[in-house]
Every structure is written in structure tokens, then in C-alpha cells.
Structure 1
Amino acid sequence: MLKLISYDFRRSRDRILAVLVIMILFQIGVWLSSGTTIEETVSIHLIVYFVVGTIFLFFAAFSYNRNLKSYPRRLIPVNAIYTVLSPLLLYWLLLLSLLLIGLIHLGLYVLVYSADFLPANFWPVVIRSTLQCTWSAGLILLMVMFACTVARSIPLKGKVWITLAVLFAIENGVAYLEKLLFNNYFIGLDNAFRFEITKASDLSSGLELVYTGSDLIGVLVFEAGVAVLLVYAMTLLIRTRTEI
């Protein structure tokens, strides 16, 4: 599977590096053209990281779709489960690289402005939010991959429309069940950003982030079950399509 991940990365390496370089240059431009306070630019920086993470998701989905086309012809002689898991692991590695760049970015801000602008409990909240976002992004990628697999398994034209229809159905189905069971819509992404900021004037320790999300244990169990079912279903569909 590591060879397949390496193969997928090499195939998309130029585009990945181009996106990272453009992002870094844009972030530098935003910083240099902004005012003297971090509050003026932090929202733009976060949006840029979110957009790049979404672009990486599409890269991973396209890589899976290419491997899916090659699998029946045995151009990529690997196990079906590796074909499913390698794009997911590649995507998480890309998100990890994005996180490392973000930490370097934060370190530069601390050097320039000092760490006084950070809330007192900044790191616990950020770690929790990052883990939730990473997990939810991976689950969304699995849904996209499942939709692509179903579309490739149906001998009909209009693969793109079939993919969109399946993705719409499964995403809304999972969202409905989460709303029914946990009273939230796509609770992973929702919980990741559910916190409030307490003013520094109200606390002796300065700014503080107050987490207001709901409990994650039941949600993680549910979404882990959904992820396992998606991986299992994709593996069966790939093998069945190959045998046919």
C-alpha cells in the first residue's frame, strides 16, 4: 500500500507543490498588505487553509478514480482494500503537511506579535478541533469515493450525474441519522468550530476559548461504523466489477 501511496503522490506531485507554493505566496501577500494587528487577517488565513484542504480532497478523489479505472485491467496489481485506503491515507498526509505549514505560520506570528494574542487554552481547543476536522474530512472523502465506485459499477452513461446523486443521497442520509440520533447536522465538522471567546477583560488569564460542542463518543462510534461499511462496500464492488 505504501508503494501505491507513493505512486499516487508522484503522479500528483507537481500539482500539489504548485498549490502549496501559491498558498504560501498568497499568505505572505495577505500578511504584508494587512495592517498592524493579527485580527485583520486571521480569518483570511483560515479560509485559505480550508480551501487548500478542500483542493487536496479533490486530488485524492481523482487519484482514486484513476486507480479505479486501472484496477480491472490489472495495471495496478494491488489488493482491493489497498486501492480504497491509499487515497485516504494520502489525503491525511497532505492535511498533515498543511498543518505543519500552519504551525510554522503561527510560529512566525508569535515571533512578530508575541504570544499574547493567543487565548489561555488555545492548544487544547485547537488540537481537538484539528482532530475532528481531519476525521470529518476523511469521512467526506470516503463518501465521495463510494459514490465514484457505485457509478463505475453501473453499466450506464452519465457517470458524473450518478456520482453526484449517490453522494447527495449518502451524505444527506448520514446527516439525517446524525440529526436524529445526536441532534446535530454533520456533527464532526459542526463540533469542530463550536466554541465561544471570553473577553480578556472578563478573565484574569486573558482571552479564553469555551468549547460548546456536544459529546463525541457516540458520534465517533457511529461515524466509524459508517466508514467501515463504506470501505467494505467499496472493496466488494471493486472485486465484483473485476470478476465480471
Structure 2
Amino acid sequence: MASNPADAAGTPRDGRSLVSVLGEAVLVLAAGLVFGWLANAVSPRGLQWTRNYFPLAKVEAEAPRPAEDRPASQDPGALEAEAVSRVQARGFTAWTFARVAEAFEDPRRLTGQVIWVDARPEAQYRRGHIPGARPLDPYRPEQQLLELLAACLRADQVIVYCSGGRCEDAELAATLLHEAGVPRERLVIYVGGFHEWVEKGQPVETSTPDSASAGTSSFP
């Protein structure tokens, strides 16, 4: 049977050429992109194209997490002064234990007006953290930042801590939150960190924000 010359020439059976069909597809795609752009522009929750929502997302690939450096021989007072100076040089407020202990008793902690953020690795967080603290590993921030950001934006105060001493993860997490929209004046860094909290005999929680099965316990 002889083939249809039109089919051999690449013309569909309805008489339209292949070029015409491809042209219509391009027009539909372009219209969809324009509609999406307009919808995003008028929406109060639209994305800002020039904004980096995860400014530290690549930090893990660029630099590995530094090992904890808190030598027992280091004078605690000198180590604390060093940490306070470093935090303030980066434009954040530094709190020592006395101020943090006072904030822990603030009833706003129970209403979400004061948020505590643990910037240590998730495995350490799960072994024990300051009661009510939420995790935010600055080296793997994507999912945790999405879960935490709205609460931090509503809070009056956000207290960030890591292991303490020369650990700078709290500063990285605070920078991440600030660049995501949390005002700098609401961010506070507890320079003594979790090590000091435990050394002072303060309560430690082993439950996670999405789990009520575990409770508050003393840290071993």
C-alpha cells in the first residue's frame, strides 16, 4: 500500500504542519510562565526572586563542621570573654548564663514569645537539649528552617546556642535566621552553650518537638 505523501512530509492528518504544532506548544508554555509570574507578583506570599532563602545551605560542602574545641585547661572566664567579643563583633547580642537562666524562667517561653534554638548536630540534640529548644543545624538547614522560621518571626526573642566555648554554630544559625527575615535585635546567642547549661545542673529534655513520648530528664 502506498504511503500518504502528507505523512511522509511530517504533516499531521488534520492538515497542520509539525512546525505549527510546535509553535502552539511554545505559546502555551510561554503563557503559563507569564501567568505564574503574575500570580506570584500579586500574591502577598509570593517568592522574592532576589532573596536567598537558604544562604548557608552550601556551607557543609564548602567547609566541614569544626570539631568542638573547649579545652579543660582554658580559663572559663577568658573563654567566655573571647566568645562574647566574637559574637558582638558579628553584630549579635551575647548572653552569659545568669541572663539565660533568667530568660528560662520567663513565662513567655511557654507561649512561643521566647524561642530557644539548638544549633548542634541533630544526633546531639536528640540525646539532650534545653527544654523547649527547637533544632536548627546550620550545616543542614533546609527542612528545619522551614519548620522553625514562622515561629521565630512571631517571637519577641530568639535565643540560639550550640555547645559553647569556641563553637561558632550558634552564630551561623543566628546569621541564617537573620538573613531569612528575623530582626537582628531579636536574636540572642548564649555563649556558654549546652556544656555550661549541663555543668550548672540545669534541666535537660530528651523529647523532640514532634514527640511527646519522652520527657525532661537529667543529662548523664
Q: TM-score, normalised to structure 1's length? A: 0.20
Instruction: Give 1 or 2: higher strand fraction.
Output: 2
Instruction: Give 1 or 2: higher helix fraction.
Output: 1
Query: Whose radius of gyration is greater, 1 or 2?
Result: 2
